[in-house]
Structure 1
């Protein structure tokens, strides 16, 4: 390996050019006085002392300052490499753990040819969801995803479920499988959007018949997920009949998923209790404004549970009365409302 390549690799370990010159000089001598290193590296002796202390802390050299004159000795390269390897291995679990949490989502599209694969993918998406699932599935296939839906509800995920090909007046066994569930006797595409990012849509014929020849599409793209959610709430959710609503959460509670906050506020307000909300986020007009607002929740606009009172299908909003005025609050990407929320804390007002 030539010197330029070795210098480049040392830079990747955080060495400056002068540190490289000093370290390579020490390596060349094995052990040398600070004055010799300074002369060969073209730096001051004081700078050699300073850099050598840093190199010693990092395990590259040792400084013998108990003798006169002080000498600097290179640590055997095999020991240096072993120490660097050990450090890298110690970092591996933390790096892998963090990578699994923040690895970027790809924008891939995938065509799925088999019904069984679609249902397995839906099951996996439900299992991996942290905040919100919108799902339509034929009642005949509900049992294939029921365990995952129940687990999702138990861990606080907002599950909005439409079962198709089902009589709304029948006992459909939906308790605990959703936060809000609706039923529709007609067929509709089997579709899921998880955490407003990952989606799958399959034609009704594909799920109804294993050899239909139809294809499903899976994609991971945050820009397209709202289209799927808009279709779900605009075309199918209003057509189905509400058949199950879970009990409201105990408060206080913090919500990253704004639709969940709107739903819980709606359920509690309908009991006659007064609520206060602490909302963290930003004004939607782009002007500088408060990073947090707090006040009484005086109204909601929503279509998650009946009776709906929103003015368009995906509208979900809180109206919060603060000391500085009244704010309409929307979720991620809000533009109609006054304030875009990233987090909402709901609690009962003091009586």
Structure 2
């Protein structure tokens, strides 16, 4: 490295031109009297004393003012580099945290630049969930959102979790952090959708490496969330292996989240229970019709737990036998079913 390049780099560390001259002079001598440094650098001896004290505070030189005459000694360059590197590494987390401060969640669309912010957003979304969380996350980072997931499960939120980079045969510690959990050894995007409205997606490299240069996207739009849900259930959920399913709820229970109702009905039916459902909603293809149906749950179609029997990835449906006939019931936005549910009350048949 030539002198001009070295001088430019020292300027980037805040050195003035005269400070550079003094420091390089000290380096050339290794150790020298202040008068020698002053003569070689073309400055006054008083200025050498002043600058040397500042350089000593910054770890570049040491000043021996206990002897006469005073001498200035260069700190070995490798020690200087090691100290600067340590300082930069210590600054990193604080700089990243300030850079990644949360923006208001009212933003409709946001580009996120750091892993810290991705995990912060995911945590905030889980904390705010009322009904449903669909989340994929590397198992190595699960602990950073595990407490929030447990809280969500305990307050009745449906938590559908895929942990990636994990062997399904290992003990992954997923009990209580999800309603249904799956594991997959392969990497996949970190994705979260909450209450079918708020979503975030980050590429695998962004979570794996803090300086990947990748970007994540967060959005709060009910029209776009189904696209992410479709990708979650269509591309990744079937590839992962089921490793945990929570126990079924006690009935009667009212569900505003239809996938939760389908899951709980599935678990009860497979345990041999007979169920009734009271569904409030509307017929899909009729302008008028009952806003409530009640009957026995005779079948489910779903891919939430194994064995799946859905005919397309996001299908979740109840089949309810009423006195007026048999209805297939879907959730919000149902289009292939007979009835679109707004809420479901499930109970054990008498």
1:126 and 2:126 aligned:
yes
1:274/1:349 contact within 8 Å kept: yes
1:137/1:162 contact within 8 Å kept: yes
Tell me the CA shift for residue 252 of structure 1: 0.2
Aligned to 2:224: 224
Which string of whole-angstrom CA distances, capped at 9 and with x for unpartnered residues, describes residues 11-69 of structure 1?
xxxxxxxxxxxxxxxxxxxxxxxxxxxxxxxxxxxxxxxxxxxxxxxxxxxxxxxxxxx
Aligned-partner Cα distance in 2 for 1:342–1:262: 13
Aligned to 2:241: 241
Give the secondary-structure state (helix, strand or coil) at the position aligned to 2:287: coil
Aligned to 1:329: 329
Which string of whole-angstrom CA distances, capped at 9 and with x for unpartnered residues, describes residues 75-129 of structure 1?
xxxxxxxxxxxxxxxxxxxxxxxxxxxxxx9572100001000000000000000
- Structure 2 stretches lacking a partner, 5+ long: 1-104
1:320/1:328 contact within 8 Å kept: yes
Aligned-partner Cα distance in 1 for 2:267–2:176: 17
1:189/1:204 contact within 8 Å kept: yes
Instruction: Write the mapping of 1:1-351 to structure 2, written as runs, cut at 5 A.
Output: 108-350=108-350
Aligned-partner Cα distance in 2 for 1:163–1:291: 40
Give the secondary-structure state (helix, strand or coil) at the position aligned to 1:281: strand
Aligned-partner Cα distance in 1 for 2:143–2:254: 31
Which string of whole-angstrom CA distances, capped at 9 and with x for unpartnered residues, describes residues 151-192 of structure 1?
000000000000000000000000000000000000000000
Q: How many residues align?
A: 246
107-116 or 256-265, which deviates more = 107-116
Aligned-partner Cα distance in 2 for 1:156–1:116: 28
Aligned-partner Cα distance in 1 for 2:289–2:186: 48
Aligned-partner Cα distance in 2 for 1:312–1:108: 29
Give the secondary-structure state (helix, strand or coil) at the position aligned to 1:116: helix
1:107/1:221 contact within 8 Å kept: no
Which string of whole-angstrom CA distances, capped at 9 and with x for unpartnered residues, describes residues 124-148 of structure 1?
0000000000000000000000000
Aligned-partner Cα distance in 2 for 1:176–1:210: 29
Q: What is the CA RMSD across the aligned residues, in angstroms?
A: 0.8
- Structure 1 stretches lacking a partner, 5+ long: 1-104
1:106/1:221 contact within 8 Å kept: no
Tell me the CA shift for residue 282 of structure 1: 0.3
1:139/1:163 contact within 8 Å kept: yes
Aligned-partner Cα distance in 2 for 1:162–1:225: 18
Max Rg structure: 2
1:184/1:241 contact within 8 Å kept: yes
Aligned-partner Cα distance in 2 for 1:262–1:109: 31
Tell me the CA shift for residue 287 of structure 1: 2.2
Tell me the CA shift for residue 286 of structure 1: 3.3
Tell me the CA shift for residue 299 of structure 1: 0.1
Aligned to 2:81: none
Aligned-partner Cα distance in 2 for 1:108–1:160: 24
1:298/1:320 contact within 8 Å kept: yes
